[in-house]
Amino acid sequence: MATSSKNITTAPSNGTGTTPARLEVLKTYKIYIGGQFPRTESGRYYIPVNAAGRQLANVCLSSRKDFREAVVAARAAFGGWSSRAAFNRGQILYRMAEMLEGRKTQFIEELLLQDSNRRAAEKEVNLAIDRLIYYAGWTDKYQQLFSAVNPVASSHFNFSAPEPMGVVAIIAPQDTSLLGLVSVMAPVIAGGNTCVLLGAEKKPLCAVTFAEVLNSSDLPGGVVNILTGQPDELAPWMADHMDVNAVIYCGQDTALQQLLRERSAGNLKRITIHDVTDWEENEGQSPYFIMDTQEIKTTWHPVENIAGAGGGY
């Protein structure tokens, strides 16, 4: 990268090795809370380094307090988001796909900086776009698969339908910068939840840039909040927080899995673990992932039984 910054760089290489005529403006990688891009309140940062030894950026090392603020934002957004028409949520997810498609090259370049090759990077971005469209299609359909009208024996109309759990804390897959994050986030918000998402620690660039996609997609602020930092540090606070309804952990650290399960007992958070899911394959998408953060509500209503006419004709 031929800029004045030898180490920390975030923009694509021009590949020529010559000095450009103007100095490049570097992007500050900030976190995303309540539709705003603050820096971490802690003032801390870390510098992820790629395989070639390049320092990627000064990335926010989010704190417990950042997480708590993000939960407040997510909770505040939950009522509005969950009561949006399912169709409208679908339109917004589709809009995200449109926005991501338009910024494709930016993401490919970031993925290249984060140890991907061009072919893999293009594939990852395309898959991420298609995945958003996939869940855009589910927002008004999964209810039709997972609901039931229950033929109870008494004279009642009885039906069960899924409803979102509420605020979901997510530790995104650590091995991909974009696809994993999109794959775990989309089913959560498609189902009407709001979330706080911790991006990949070592590959955080796309998480932050994806927040910019969200910010221009008609997605209300607070529905998705994105932090960068260390899973080990934030996981206990996620599990402890009494206003978080569910936690999704993507990773194979069994000690962390156990910690999440134990400490989530405080308010019986629902825990979902993705430890072997291959996000590039078909197994990386499913309406059952939406159901991971849904409750089932059953409603009873009496049916009057007074007229003799049976409607036989």
Partner 1 sequence: MAVQKKKQPRRSNTIKLKFDTSWTYAPAPESRSVAQIAPEYDLFINGTWQKPSSGEYFDTINPADEKVLSRVAAANEKDVDKAVSAARQAYDKVWRRMPAKERAKYIFRIARMIQEKARELAVIESLDGGKPIRESRDFDVPAAANHFFYYAGWADKLEYAFPNRQCSPLGVAGQIIPWNFPLLMAAWKIAPALATGNTVVLKPAETTPLTALKLAAILQEADLPPGVVNILTGAGATGAAIVNHPDINKIAFTGSTEVGKLIQRAIAGTPKKATLELGGKAANIIFEDAPIDQAVEGVINGIFFNQGHVCCAGSRLYVQESVAAEVIRKLKHRIETLIVGDPLDKNTDIGAINSRQQLDTIHRYLAIGKKEGAEMYESSCALPRKGFFCRPTIFTNVAQSNRIAQEEIFGPVLAILTFRTDDEVIEKANNTPYGLSAGVWTDKGSKIFNMTKRLRAGVVWANTFNKFDPTSPFGGYKESGYGREGGLHGLLPYLSLR
Q: How far is the CB of 309 from partner 1 (least distance, A)?
A: 4
Residue ranges in 125-144 that form contacts with partner 1 under rule CB under 8 A: 130, 133-134, 136-138, 140-141, 144
Cross-strand pairs, 49? 55
**Does 307 sit near partner 1 (CB under 8 A)?**
yes
Sheet strands side by side (includes 194-198): 224-227, 194-198, 167-171, 246-250, 270-274
DSSP string for 27-93: PP---BBTTB-PPPTT--EE--B-TTS-B---EE---HHHHHHHHHHHHHHHHHHHHS-HHHHHHHH
Q: Which is nearer to partner 1, 27 or 103 (CB)?
A: 103
Binding of partner 1 by 281 (CB under 8 A): no
Measured from the CB atom, the residue of 129 and 226 that comes closer to partner 1 is 129
Q: Which is nearer to partner 1, 21 or 306 (CB)?
A: 306
- Interactions with partner 1, residue window 57-116 (CB under 8 A): 86-87, 90-91, 94
Residue nearer to partner 1 on the CB measure, 41 or 140: 140
289 lies in the site for partner 1, by CB under 8 A: no
Angle at 107 between CA 31 and CA 185, to 5 degrees: 55
Using the CB atoms, write b or e for 1-24: b if 16+ within 10 Å.
bebeeeeebbbeeeeeeeeeeeeb
308 binds partner 1 (CB under 8 A): yes
Residues that bind partner 1 (CB under 8 A): 86-87, 90-91, 94, 130, 133-134, 136-138, 140-141, 144-145, 157, 287, 301-313
